[in-house]
Chains A and B, each alone.
Chain A
Amino acid sequence: MQRTVFRSWWLPYVLVFPQMAVTMIFFFWPALKSLQLSLYRVSPFGDSMTFVGLGNFTKLLADPEYYRSVVNSLVFAAGVTVLAVAGALVLAALATQKIRGLAAYRTLLLWPYGIAPPVAGIIFLFIFHPTYGVLPYFLSFVTAYEFNWLLKGWVALTLVIAATAWTHLGYNIAFFIAGLLAIPGAVMEAADVDGAGPVRRFRSIVFPLVSPITFYLVVLNMVFAFFESFGVIDAVTKGGPGDATMIMVYKLYKDGFIGLNLGSSGAQSVILMALVIGLTMLQFRFAEKKVTYR
């Protein structure tokens, strides 16, 4: 756990000071401040504060717009996670078959992680563009339905989900390739000798062996989708059309910075904090599991 070789009453404090200073000033203090704000009603200019107890929370939970943002966030996170994790597993499973060129394929598959979700969003925005985009153009041969994200909420939501999932792919593929390469070759050969086909091998051997990684990636993709997706919404849809892509993080920003409703944004912060604590706990249960498996 630890090696205590050196002795000094002051040096360790100097060494941890920078990390502790940043943590206290920019993490703990603001988090406590958010907790405090969530219990007050604050005037827009911040000059008067009235204690309202859980008033901000009850108001928020009675607000259909807030429910809408919660549902949007869940749909968004689920869509991104399913697409990015399932897609990555299929691609990684293909790339780690006994074929030549794994290194080249890995290079060709990892790079989407480098694209910031808002930049990906802008590229997808043009692909989905109702007048000039390639996607509506080719879809127009198949159906008369108008895939206009400016008018139809579900198209807008699909757009931001696709763009975000695209950027998550590289990350997930890196983990799946590492996990799949760690499966002992003898196990697969034994199954092969027993006559198990590729689908059966995948279902009975590969999937159970990578399931801890899958679980970990599901949690991590959810965290990313919930907390790091402000950019793609802001750059592309700004929450619209209507509030079809208004996710929790974007609503928090809008209510706080644009609506200057500090009490409500504080309460929203606290709810998000509870969510991220829950997800982090889940993630670390996986870490414990991984230790016992290996």
Chain B
Amino acid sequence: MSAVGAGQLERVRVVEVAAPRKKPFPSNAVVIHALLFACIAVVAFPLYYAFVISTQDIQEVVQRPPRLIPSSHLLENYAQAWRKAHMGRMLLNSLVMAVAVAVGKIVISMLSAFAIVYFDFRGRMLCFWTIFVTLMLPVPVRLMSTYEVVGTLGWINTYQGLAIPLMASATATFLFRQFYLTIPNELAEAAQLDGAGPIRFLFQFLLPLSWANIAALFVVLFIFGWNQYLWPLLITNTEAMRTVVIGLEELIPRTGTELPTWNLIMAGAMMALLPPVAIIIFMQRWFVKGLIESEK
């Protein structure tokens, strides 16, 4: 009895001694902060450097030792890159493509998940597995033939050619399916008693509950659409239809006669990467939710 008591006392004492160790030691925390800062400096350096170059004139770009601080030519570089590479048009094309891909994927996935969860129909499982298999057919494995199909449809150099073939989405369909399955069956039954048909149930009951998922998916899919490279490269061959990620490459001269204007290339790169990076930073909560939940 007393032995147990002594043991307990001792344990309490040990915990008391150990307690300050659980709280972060100031020195310990300082080390961790310092390590994190060092790592972030390394990770952020390429972006910082691209920005720095985009603010310099060409003499400063080529000077040795390299100048690692921003200069004063930001506006003129961006304006010149904008004119030279038709940035306005390319950014518009990227925007149209990214929004169309994101909205299209969300709409068709929402509808098919609704059908698969709330209806019993012949071929339901077949549809489910068909959608699943698209995960295993990325663009490169059907490159030539998909190009041929788009050509047959007359969709080369069109927005529908850029967006529609990318709209099938297994991950978005699975996300909506998972979400619908968490909604109690009673909701649909109550809606039915109120005389709501399936379409009204979808728009008046399910849709209002789905906004968080839709926002999260939109952020992730917008970035996916904006950063496409191989597909727009295949489907477009005029300057007017180029997206910014592929058009950027045209700022780099491949012939030996012209010297590359690296400050303009970096200005173009900054304009191409700013929209998706800004979306991640300002819509971080939706981005993380979309990323993690669409992979379940």
Contacts and interface: CB of A to CB of B under 8 A. Distances in A.
Contacts of B234: 257
A103 to B, nearest CB: 8
A96 to B, nearest CB: 10
B115 interface: yes
Contact of B141 (A23, A174, A269): A269
Say whether chain A's binding surface is mostly helix, strand, loop, or mixed: helix
Given A111-B280, A273-B137, A116 B145 contact: no
Contacts of A120: 46
Given A114-B280, A137-B65, A231-B230, A126 B118 contact: no
B21 A27 contact: no
Residue in B18, B61, B115, B266 with the greatest tally of chain A CB atoms within 10 Å = B115
Contacts of A231: 229-230, 245-246
Contact of A272 (B33, B141, B165, B288): B141
Contacts of B92: none
Interface string B248-263: 1100100000000010
- Determine which residue in B15, B124, B130 has the highest number of CB atoms from chain A within 10 A of its CB, and name it: B130
Nearest to B119: A12
Kindly name the residue among A15, A20, A107 whose own CB sees the greatest number of chain B CB atoms within 10 A. Answer: A15
Given A19-B108, A256-B143, A91 B39 contact: yes
Interface in B207-233: 223, 226-227, 229-230, 233
Given A19-B112, A113-B223, A2 B53 contact: no
B198 A6 contact: yes
Interface stretch (B73-81, B82-90, B184-192): B184-192
Interface in A119-153: 119-120, 122-127, 129, 131-132, 134, 137
A49 to B, nearest CB: 13
Contacts of B14: 193
Contacts of A273: 136-137, 141
A50 B139 CA distance: 26
Contact of B281 (A1, A37, A107, A249): A107
A15 B273 contact: no
Given A111-B281, A113-B223, A118 B43 contact: no
B135 interface: yes
Interface of B: 14-15, 18, 21-24, 29, 32-33, 35-36, 39-40, 43-44, 46-47, 49-50, 53, 61-62, 64-66, 68, 107-109, 111-112, 114-121, 124, 127, 130-131, 133-146, 148-150, 164-165, 167-168, 173, 180-181, 185, 188-189, 192, 197-199, 201, 223, 226-227, 229-230, 233-234, 245-246, 248-249, 252, 262, 265-266, 269, 272-273, 276-281, 284, 287-288, 291-292, 295-296
Given A2-B181, A11-B115, 11 more contacts: A11-B119, A19-B131, A30-B148, A33-B142, A110-B281, A114-B273, A132-B62, A178-B288, A235-B229, A253-B143, A265-B144
